Chains A and B, each alone.
Chain A
Amino acid sequence: MSHVNDAIPARLTTVFRDVFDDDALEVHSAMTAADVDGWDSLTHVRLMLSVERAFATKFTASEIGRLKTVGDLIELIARKTS
């Protein structure tokens, strides 16, 4: 994780707060869907599309399918935007 841009988690927190409508939410690497209220399959789609827009990038279905934790998402964003 050391190569990951430190700005990504902070920006991701902004996106998560917007999508889940929860201003107290803080993302961390080990976070999964089970940790967040309302993170169902539909919200997951909205989250992915919102992340794509916020970071001006696009994910493929297989990239999205491999994500297990928020840490995986941070690494994916770092790879796609580096």
Chain B
Amino acid sequence: MSNDLFADLGWLPRAPADFEARLRGLASGAEGSGLQLLASHALDENRLMKVARYLAKARAAGTALSPLTPFTLGVITNSTTDFLCSAIAGTSPRFGLHVTCVAGAYDQGLQESVDPGSAINAARPNAVLVGIDWRGLGLRPTTRGDEEADAMVAGALAHLNAIRAGIHAGSGAVCIVQTLAPPAERVFGSLDRSVPGSLVSMIDAVNHGIAAAVRDSTDILFDVDGLAATVGLASWHAPSEWNLAKLPFASRLLPLYADHVCRLLASMSGKSRRCLILDLDNTMWGGVIGDDGLSGIRLAQGDADGEAYLDFQQYVLSLRDRGIVLAVSSKNDDLVARSPFREHPEMRVKEEHIAVFQANWNDKATNIAAIARELSLGLQSMVFVDDNPFERELVRQALPEVAVVELPEDPALYARTLGASGYFELTALSREDLDRASFYEGNARRAELQKSVGNLDDYLASLDMEIVLQPFDEIGRARIAQLINKSNQFNLTTRRYSETDVAALTDDPTCFTLQVRLIDHFGDNGMISVVVCRGVGGESWDVDTWLMSCRVLGRRVEQMVLHELLRHASAANAREIVGTFIPTDRNGMVAEHYAKLGFELARRGEDGSTSWRLTVPGTVVTPPPMRVTRIGLP
């Protein structure tokens, strides 16, 4: 089934297949945080109901649910509330809340609100959702003149205002007032928009009236009209479901509706997020700045891919302008990562918009923790955006409080996905909120790293990695040559070879070659590493070329490659492996590559290059947790 961004909450990771078992097996004493983690997946209606049921049982048993905050929500509608209530309660742990819903009697909104002893007022709710749709407000299309239409609009607004006044007097709770989604069936057609007595016109007038009334009060607006328009009125309204059970909108959209309700509750409870942490390569621009260079990254008008990244930057900038603090976490050399901000004419986001700029080769969880500390904002204020699923999952596992947006493959949809996630929802706009970003930013400073967070070994083991090792061959030739000519960062010697050269290396009996693929549970990363050794047959193997895609940094692929080199060098009775590092302005990240792998420094050249030596007999490298598939290798 295709994954719809809105109906299927596409910004959240998919629920695990063993969701029910995990829910039943939540560790005693950690139910609250466990629930928050489970509810942070995209859950359908049935699973939301299971979470709601779990919450109800836990509360009845007196289980402490911290860190979840309790929240009581009254619900007044002219429809069946049971499904709404369980979907909202089941969604609430995603937002750090555990919601108890108190529903009013069916279609008795006004009576419930004005009676101080009603179930809703007696429950002393934190808020009351006034979710009455057009069918509950006496709106009927009329062709008998504007006055009748005006009277119906005024009557609908008076009814809603009476409910709000009743709640305020009866329990002091804040009201969350829904706007109305017009029906999909039109009477005139386009003319419905201008005929005052059409439902479309009256509903429009009521919505304007609701927005104006709520804006001047402490109540909160819930723009259901906007939500329904976003998914489409024909998807929103399900006449058969209304007839069957008085469901106010298609039940398929319940998880989306509940997520939107809980955003408002979270914002009311001071739990909305405030800081956006951005990856750079293939997130803010197309391509890899360290490999492709300033002229090679895609970020420009006139190129469909480049425009997609411009659009995303524009959206990021509009978030910044409304007070969201921006930070960067990128695996890059600092100066290289800053170069587009300083020199690329198309960049919309500038260095001065970035409060903390973390470009280094450490894992992103450690960097995000450093950013949070530097800004004195909690991890629960952070939203992280990265195109690489490996980094996203690493951060989710190490820092579950951080919201990590599932990004689609197409950068044209980055802005829409981040917007749909609603992580920055606000219920009211204050001067302080608007000014927050500029208060923090100014110098794109670096934050000091402290100890690593999370256990990388456990994470790597959970990835189900498979490495495929293979000598150069004809099928791989074009991609091998491409990597050899494009890789700048993880590239020890930066020697460039054409396809013809690669063919010659393939046939040369004094050369040992490797092309390496990596597959993990996110998918096939394709060819990610290339190695060429010369001197095969002699005592000393010389690593002529060793390069790797930065996309798979931190997976210990290089240890696995060394393990493989040692295997073959040992079988060929070589005594040593010699490696060379030739510095360029791009490959500083691998200056210590051979030292980290246990090689000894043999020579330091005047040009800054270094030679390294590793004795083959007796050297043992522990292979990292990955399955090995060899093709065409003994």
- Which residue among B20, B49, B244 has the maximum number of chain A CB atoms within 10 Å of its CB? B244
Q: Which residues of A contact B49 (CB under 8 A)?
A: 21, 46
Bound CA–CA A58/B245 (angstroms): 15
- Which residue among A21, A23, A50 has the maximum number of chain B CB atoms within 10 Å of its CB? A21
Interfacial residues, chain B to chain A (CB-CB below 8 A): 20, 45-47, 49-50, 53, 80, 82-83, 240-241, 243-245, 247, 251-252
Interfacial residues, chain A to chain B (CB-CB below 8 A): 18-19, 21, 23, 42, 45-46, 48-50, 53, 58, 60-61, 64
Q: Which residues of B contact A48 (CB under 8 A)?
A: 244
Q: Which residues of B contact A19 (CB under 8 A)?
A: 46
- Is there an interface contact between A21 and B252, defined as CB atoms closer than 8 Å? no
- Is there an interface contact between B46 and A64, defined as CB atoms closer than 8 Å? no
- Is there an interface contact between B240 and A21, defined as CB atoms closer than 8 Å? no
Known: A23-B20, A42-B82. A49 touches B50 (CB 8 A): no
**Which residue of chain B has the shortest Cβ distance to A44 in the bound complex?**
B245
Q: Which residues of A contact B83 (CB under 8 A)?
A: 42, 46
| Cross-chain pairs A/B with CB under 8 angstroms, 27 sampled | A18-B46, A18-B47, A19-B46, A21-B46, A21-B49, A21-B50, A23-B20, A42-B80, A42-B83, A42-B245, A46-B45, A46-B46, A46-B49, A46-B83, A46-B251, A48-B244, A49-B45, A49-B251, A49-B252, A50-B45, A50-B46, A58-B240, A60-B240, A61-B240, A61-B243, A61-B244, A64-B244
Min CB–CB distance B21 → chain A (angstroms): 9
Min CB–CB distance B470 → chain A (angstroms): 41
Bound CA–CA A60/B239 (angstroms): 11
Q: Which residues of B contact A58 (CB under 8 A)?
A: 240
Bound CA–CA A58/B241 (angstroms): 11
Bound CA–CA A42/B82 (angstroms): 8
Q: Which residues of A contact B82 (CB under 8 A)?
A: 42
The number of A-B residue pairs with CB atoms under 8 Å apart is: 35
Q: Which of A18, A53, A60 contacts B252 (CB 8 A)?
A: A53
Min CB–CB distance A82 → chain B (angstroms): 20
Min CB–CB distance B54 → chain A (angstroms): 10
**Which residue of chain B has the shortest Cβ distance to A53 in the bound complex?**
B252
Min CB–CB distance A43 → chain B (angstroms): 10
Q: Which residues of A contact B244 (CB under 8 A)?
A: 45, 48, 61, 64
Q: Which residues of B contact A64 (CB under 8 A)?
A: 244
Min CB–CB distance A37 → chain B (angstroms): 13
**Which residue of chain A has the shortest Cβ distance to B54 in the bound complex?**
A21
Bound CA–CA A21/B251 (angstroms): 18
**Which residue of chain A has the shortest Cβ distance to B241 in the bound complex?**
A49
Q: Which residues of B contact A45 (CB under 8 A)?
A: 244-245, 247
Bound CA–CA A50/B83 (angstroms): 13
In the A-B complex, the 4 residue pairs with the closest CB atoms: A45-B245, A18-B46, A49-B251, A42-B82
Bound CA–CA A19/B49 (angstroms): 9
Bound CA–CA A58/B49 (angstroms): 22
Bound CA–CA A53/B7 (angstroms): 13
**Which residue of chain B has the shortest Cβ distance to A20 in the bound complex?**
B46
Min CB–CB distance B263 → chain A (angstroms): 24
Q: Which residues of B contact A46 (CB under 8 A)?
A: 45-46, 49, 83, 251
Bound CA–CA A50/B252 (angstroms): 9
Min CB–CB distance B110 → chain A (angstroms): 25
With A18-B46, A21-B50 given, can you name 20 additional A-B contacts, CB distance below 8 Å? Answer: A18-B47, A21-B53, A42-B80, A42-B83, A42-B245, A45-B245, A45-B247, A46-B45, A46-B49, A46-B83, A48-B244, A49-B241, A49-B251, A50-B45, A50-B46, A53-B252, A58-B240, A60-B240, A61-B243, A61-B244
Bound CA–CA A21/B49 (angstroms): 9
Bound CA–CA A49/B244 (angstroms): 10
Bound CA–CA A73/B364 (angstroms): 52
Q: Which residues of A contact B80 (CB under 8 A)?
A: 42
Q: Which residues of B contact A50 (CB under 8 A)?
A: 45-46
**Which residue of chain B has the shortest Cβ distance to A50 in the bound complex?**
B46
**Which residue of chain B has the shortest Cβ distance to A42 in the bound complex?**
B82
Bound CA–CA A45/B247 (angstroms): 10
Min CB–CB distance A47 → chain B (angstroms): 10
**Which residue of chain A has the shortest Cβ distance to B251 in the bound complex?**
A49
Min CB–CB distance B89 → chain A (angstroms): 15
Bound CA–CA A21/B247 (angstroms): 22
Q: Which residues of A contact B50 (CB under 8 A)?
A: 21
Bound CA–CA A20/B240 (angstroms): 23
Bound CA–CA A19/B44 (angstroms): 11
Q: Which residues of A contact B47 (CB under 8 A)?
A: 18
Bound CA–CA A64/B240 (angstroms): 11
- Which residue among A21, A45, A49 has the maximum number of chain B CB atoms within 10 Å of its CB? A49
Bound CA–CA A58/B240 (angstroms): 10
**Which residue of chain A has the shortest Cβ distance to B1 in the bound complex?**
A56
Bound CA–CA A49/B20 (angstroms): 20
Bound CA–CA A70/B399 (angstroms): 46
Q: Which residues of A contact B20 (CB under 8 A)?
A: 21, 23
Bound CA–CA A6/B20 (angstroms): 26
- Which residue among A45, A58, A61, A64 has the maximum number of chain B CB atoms within 10 Å of its CB? A45
Bound CA–CA A53/B47 (angstroms): 14
